Amino acid sequence: MEKHGSGNLQQWEAILRWHQHYEVDDILSTHVQDFMQPPATPIQVPQVNREHKQDSPPSNPEQDIKTQPSKLNLRACDSLGALARYMEQIPCGLKHPGNNFVFADGHPDADLMVIGEAPGEQENREQKPFVGRSGLLLDQMLAAIGLSRHEPDPKKAVYITNVVPWRPPGNRKPSTVETELFRESVFRHIALQSPKCILAMGGSAATVLLNESTGITRLRGNLRMMQFDGHHVGVIATFHPAYLLRNPLAKREAYADLRTTQKHLATDNTIAP
């Protein structure tokens, strides 16, 4: 009993530290997890039976594409795996030896889709989006509203990707030319994953998704109803975690954006065309 009580106390201390770090004075969720530590037993994300969402990339994508040229057509991509193969073959100056293709992470049926800008050095090594310092901060932010990329329940899970799947040199922001190369693929990605809400993290992601270039400080915070390749979804733009690490004063605004996201996910409203 004493050991169990100590664990609960550590959980509350962890989430309290996070709220103090963000300079907020209320708790979004009564369900508290120790987001500073990984789970003792890794949670296995369940396999989804819907064929249009599940299709593992082949071991040799180039050979597969050569034998199935019709699948080079974006509209023919009817699964996430097919889309990954398609995107990996898009001619891009960022493709070179040592630069890995980074597609997505999390639950493919999650209600929330997080779209960042491009992979960084750590993401390039692990071939997963948001796994470095920015990824740790993102996981903490999501935990504050009861969500996790490791959660098996789609209502509590997150699906994470980037606009550009290749790391730009020096971890710089992707250029307009680079984001334009993948714009239509991102829209197809959204349609295939079919989220209820999108959290666009960073100016590049917000510009692509909202089709505006007024800057993230003006675009952030508001829920906008958008349509991507026939799928209607609410989009909320916010600061990229990397920006928050450099500018901690912006964390209060990011927290407000999380609350907007949480409220939209909690609604039962269907987005009208």
SS3 of residue 158 by DSSP: strand
- What is the band of 115 on the pLDDT scale with cuts at 50, 70, 90? very high
CA distance 261 to 253: 13
pLDDT at 155 over 60: yes
CA distance 74 to 178: 17
The secondary structure of residue 218, as a DSSP letter, is H
Report whether 174 contacts 90 (CB < 8 A). Answer: no
SS3 of residue 197 by DSSP: strand
What pLDDT score does 229 carry?
84
What pLDDT score does 213 carry?
84
List pLDDT tens digits, range 96-108.
998 999 999 999 9
What pLDDT score does 214 carry?
87
- Alpha carbon of 138 to those of 131, 173, 196: distances in Å? 9, 18, 19
Which of these, 221, 223, 214, 265, lies nearest to 239 by C-alpha position?
221
**pTM recorded for the entire structure:** 0.74
pLDDT at 273 over 80: no
Which class in CATH covers the domain with range 63-266?
A: alpha beta
CA distance 7 to 4: 5
Q: Which residue has the higher pLDDT, 89 or 56?
A: 89
